[in-house]
Amino acid sequence: MKIKAGRIITNHGMYLRGRPVGISTTSFEYTNEEREYVIYYCQAIWRDVMEKVGNPNFTGIIRFDLIPCFVHESGDDFGLRLNGLYEINTASPECAAAFAAVNALVKGVKQADIFSRLVKRIQCIFGNRKIYFLMSDRNALIKSLWGGIYLRSLQDAGLNIVSISTKDVIKKSPRLIWRWGDIRENGESQYSPDVTQWLWEHSQKEHVEIFNTILPDNKDPGRKNLLLKSKVPIMREIYGNNEPLNFKGHSEIPKWNWAVENKDKLVLKPDGGCSGANIFFGEYHNEIAWLKILKNCNHRGYSLWELKPLSETRLCGQSYAIDLNPAFFAHDDKLYYLYTICRIGSFQNYQKNKTMNVAKGAGMTLAFI
């Protein structure tokens, strides 16, 4: 992989939670072998996850948050190794909309033409059917801010897509909807209660497609706890040594002992979490405090994960933490590769909180293919 160090642009008018979104001009370029490696890796994970949830019909853009290690070889050349993943984002990831905003607001930068690729893939599956773009009817951070730019980018790339209001969507009941707002069975919805209820009911009808498909928790391939374990040996190596935090009393004392004795190698995360919130790292707590956290979170939808930190990458004398986020268009059990982004930040800052999230100050690179 070729990596050429760039700079972070923040004076462009793009904000998230009051913080400028850092756009990094550091460029990345796969070799053909590395691209195929990443695609194969993600396809293996997707097959494993879909089998666990019974292979439900699923359509939409998804993003894998992978843990890479970049090994410097010479000059701008780095070897790429993958050490697992943090999650699969199946709830309408914002990166494509962010690219639309970058194209509109940031001058003098070039990135891959992801919208032509995306539209071509959708047209291969759905032809020229009209798609209705449904914005959130609540304030939903960048989903509200960037929705219009996102829609125009899809239209400019040739997609037959039009905006529809939450009032009209209930009245017209279209069969092909692109939802631009999160909705989860047991979590936050970025639509009002009546629209949320309608979307749930509408999604169960035959011949109706909603991007990204709305599924109950037990069928949702984006559930983090699906990545805890696997019967397949190679998948166990990818996922690591993890345990759901639903320990019983004295009958499971060995598990409690394991969780305390290995606290410096473990991180506690909510199964339905997002944006790096409500995460606890064992190494930041003494044994008494860690055990108290475990007891408070036991049987409350948390899991213990093997800590897999990002490695240090040196560019032009500076130390960075960099992750790898390939995106695909999913249709049923098939994945069609679209593009990749990275999130990049100071390695020193990363060591303080062990998270790479744009909402918490990480920079986002331009899209590459």
User: 83-98: per-residue pLDDT in tens?
Assistant: 999 999 998 788 898 8
Token duo for residue 42: 């993600």
**Which CATH number covers residue 253?**
3.30.1490
Token duo for residue 355: 């998270």
315 and 208 inside one domain? yes
136 and 277 inside one domain? no
Token duo for residue 250: 């004295």
71 and 180 inside one domain? yes
Whether 12 contacts 101, CB under 8 Å? no
Distance of CA 305 to the CA centre of its chain: 17
111 and 170 inside one domain? yes
193 and 129 inside one domain? yes
Q: What is the pLDDT of residue 353?
A: 78
Domain contains 158: yes
CA-based nearest residue to 64, from 45, 95, 89, 98: 89
169 and 22 inside one domain? yes
Domain contains 232: no
CA distance 50 to 52: 5
- Top pLDDT among 137 and 82 is at 82
Whether 229 contacts 236, CB under 8 Å? yes
State which H helix or E strand residue 9 sits in: strand 8-9
If phi over 0 gives left and psi between -120 and 50 gives alpha, with beta otherwise, what is residue 316?
left
CA distance 231 to 310: 26
55 and 133 inside one domain? yes
Residues in the chain: 369
326 and 259 inside one domain? no
Q: Which domain holds residue 278?
A: 241-306
Condensed to tens digits (0 to 9), the pLDDT of residues 182-215 reads 887 766 788 888 999 999 999 989 889 999 999 9
Domain contains 214: yes
Domain contains 24: yes
Q: Which of 275, 291, 306 is the last residue of a domain?
A: 306
Angle between the 114-126 and 142-156 helix axes, to the nearest 10 degrees?
70
Q: Hey, which residues does 133 pair with through a beta bridge?
A: 163, 178
Token duo for residue 114: 């992801």
80 and 151 inside one domain? yes
Lowest pLDDT segment from 26-35, 98-107, 254-263, 306-315: 98-107
Domain contains 183: yes
Whether 269 contacts 237, CB under 8 Å? no
Domain contains 234: no
Domain contains 17: yes
Q: What average pLDDT does range 304-321 have in this prediction?
A: 94
170 and 276 inside one domain? no
Whether 361 contacts 20, CB under 8 Å? no
What's the mean pLDDT when you consider all of the chain? 90
Give the number of domains in the chain.
2
78 and 142 inside one domain? yes
- Top pLDDT among 318 and 17 is at 318
- What per-residue string of b and e applies to 23-53 under the rule 16 or more CB within 10 Å gives b? bbbbbbebeeebbeebbebbeebbbbbbebb
Which of the 8 DSSP states describes residue 347?
H
CA-based nearest residue to 211, from 174, 185, 186: 174
Q: What is the pLDDT of residue 227?
A: 95
Distance of CA 172 to the CA centre of its chain: 31
Q: Which of 273, 306, 339 is the last residue of a domain?
A: 306
49 and 167 inside one domain? yes
Domain contains 139: yes
Q: What is the pLDDT of residue 17?
A: 67
Q: Which of 277, 306, 335 is the last residue of a domain?
A: 306
